């Protein structure tokens, strides 16, 4: 699926200092009935964001106008649970391009990279610094530099580097996806299939 290229992102951030945020919270199962990839942002964190009667829960951070931006900062073990890519779509569709946490669940991380959301894993101490900076000033800007693989809290200047697979990095920088790459291996795939015992 095509997505916008990612280069350097400078934005304020939305804090969600909760651990083990699972994909059932990010997008509850009842919103998975769609057959197209649109409109998932409206239901991002649906049950934390809205009461059963659809009125907003005032205390939830996405309903607090002080916080905004293209970066979501979550607690440890973000995105555990179901493999639903809809969770990553919802994050992207809502307007986030980057999720920062001190630890990501595997499938969610993969899904993010496949749909154009950059997962940035930082140390627990750095994550804490980000939360503190936002608490001090909700408009505090964070700079995520993909070519450099660094993340900087602009008001304090604190900086950390992060890991990303070079292949995935290249894809992100160019807005490419894996299928284009695989389709070019057609001959290898046909040959492999022919000698495969199973």
Partner 1 sequence: MSKTLFDKVWDAHVIKKIENGPQVLFIDRHLVHEVTSPVAFLGLKNRGIKVRFPERTFATADHNTPTRNQHLPVADPLSANQLKMLEQNAAEHGIPYWGLGHEKNGIVHVIGPENGITVPGATIVCGDSHTSTHGAFGAIAFGIGTSEVEMVLATQCILQPKPKRMRINVHGKLNAGVTPKDVALYIISRLTTSGATGYFVEYAGEVFRDMSMEGRMTVCNLSIEMGARGGMMSPDEKTFEYIKGREHTPKGEAWDTAMEYWDTLKTDEDAIFDKEVSFNGEDIEPMITYGTNPGMGVGITMGIPTADAVEGGAATYAKSLAYMDFQEGESMIGKPIDFVFLGSCTNGRIEDFRAFTGIVKGRKKAEHVTAWLVPGSHKVEAAIKEEGLLDILIEAGFELREPGCSACLAMNDDKIPAGKYAVSTSNRNFEGRQGPGARTLLASPLVAAAAAVTGKVTDPRELLELATA
- Residues binding partner 1 (CB under 8 A): 1, 17-20, 22, 24-25, 28-30, 32-37, 47, 52, 75-77, 80-86, 88, 103, 105-107, 110-111, 114-115, 165-168, 177-179, 181-183, 185-186, 188-189, 192-193, 196-198
Nearer to partner 1, 1 or 8 (CB): 1
The tokens of 72 are what? Answer: 């979501």
Structure tokens at 25: 């919270």
Distance between CA 122 and CA 163 in Å, rounded? 9
User: Which residue, 12 or 101, has its beta carbon nearer to partner 1?
Assistant: 101
Closer CB to partner 1, 70 or 86, in the complex: 86
Rounded least distance, CB 141 to partner 1, Å: 26
Question: Which is it for the CA torsion 87, 88, 94, 98, positive or negative?
Answer: positive
Smaller CB distance to partner 1: residue 30 or 157? 30
Q: Tell the smallest beta-carbon distance from residue 107 to partner 1 (Å).
A: 6
Q: How far is the CB of 134 from partner 1 (least distance, A)?
A: 17
Nearest approach in angstroms of CB 131 to partner 1 is 12
**b/e 25-54 (16+ beta carbons within 10 angstroms → b):** bbbbeebeeeeeeeebeebbbbebbbeeee
CA nearest 109: which of 91, 95, 125, 93?
91
25 vs 94: CA distance, rounded Å: 15
Largest CA distance in the chain: 62
**Minimum distance from CB of 78 to partner 1 (Å)?**
10
60 versus 155: smaller Cβ distance to partner 1: 60
């Amino acid at each position: 699926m095509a997505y916008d290229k990612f280069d350097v992102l400078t934005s304020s951030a939305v804090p969600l200092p909760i651990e083990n945020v699972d994909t059932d919270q990010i997008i509850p199962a009842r919103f998975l009935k769609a057959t197209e990839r649109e409109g998932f942002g409206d239901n991002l964190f649906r049950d934390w964001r809205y009461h059963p009667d659809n009125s907003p829960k005032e205390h939830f951070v996405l309903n607090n106008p002080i916080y905004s931006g293209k970066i979501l900062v979550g607690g440890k073990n973000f995105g555990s649970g179901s493999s639903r890519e809809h969770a990553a779509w919802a994050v992207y569709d809502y307007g986030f391009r980057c999720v920062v946490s001190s630890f990501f669940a595997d499938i969610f991380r993969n899904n993010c990279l496949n749909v154009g959301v950059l997962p940035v894993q930082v140390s627990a101490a750095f994550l804490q610094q980000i939360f503190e900076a936002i608490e001090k000033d909700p408009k505090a800007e964070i700079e995520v530099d993909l070519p450099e693989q660094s993340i900087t809290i602009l008001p304090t200047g604190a900086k950390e580097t992060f890991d990303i697979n070079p292949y995935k990095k290249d894809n992100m920088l160019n807005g490419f996806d894996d299928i284009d790459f695989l389709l070019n291996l057609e001959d290898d795939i046909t040959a492999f299939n022919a000698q495969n015992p199973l």
